[in-house]
Amino acid sequence: MKRFRILSCAAFLLGALPVSAQKAGDPAKGKEVFDQCAVCHSATTDEKKVGPSLKGLFKKAKMTNGQKPTEANVLAIINKGKGTMPAYEDILTKEEKDHLLAYLKTL
Ligand code: HEC
């Protein structure tokens, strides 16, 4: 039971944190958008699913394509897709992508 309490506490913190930090994108909304990425990408562990884990993406020196994880470079992957990853150019709105980037930065 103790473990359960710790887990729900962590979940609460994760949910509550992003709300205060709002710029262009809203990380809380981005987390919802990320639901469709989560089948292939872990956000909380280093586990490789279909694609590489995105935990700490913006803190990495390089992505697997050798580029720096800047907003523009990450957005380019989201828009164009990569390997078996689908292109999200027409699937997500600009707003949803802004939220998504804001969320990815919190990882
Ligand atoms: C069907 C599975 C799948 C889905 C869904 C998917 N991806 Fe991917 N993604 C991949 C694969 C596979 C790669 C690695 C491609 C390669 O390197 O050839 C990748 C690579 C990436 C990378 C580069 C990571 C790095 O370190 O180089 C980013 C960023 C990324 N995906 C973000 C997203 C986001 C954001 C979403 C949701 C909008 C998403 N992906 C949805 C499969 C997926």
Q: What one-letter code names the amino acid at 52?
A: P
Q: pLDDT tens across 12-65, in order? A: 555 555 544 445 899 999 999 999 999 999 999 999 999 999 999 999 999 999
CA-to-CA separations, 98 to 18, 28, 91, in angstroms, rounded: 14, 11, 14
CA-to-CA separations, 82 to 3, 15, 52, 64, 87, in angstroms, rounded: 38, 29, 12, 11, 7
51 lines ligand 1 (CB under 6 A): yes
| pLDDT class of 8 with cuts at 50, 70, 90 | low
CA of 6 to the centre of ligand 1 (A): 31
Name every residue whose Cβ is closer than 8 Å to that of residue 17 and which is 6 or more positions away in sequence: 106
| pLDDT: which is higher, 11 or 37 | 37
107 lines ligand 1 (CB under 6 A): no
Q: pLDDT tens across 64-93, in order? A: 999 999 999 999 999 999 999 999 999 999
CA of 59 to the centre of ligand 1 (A): 17
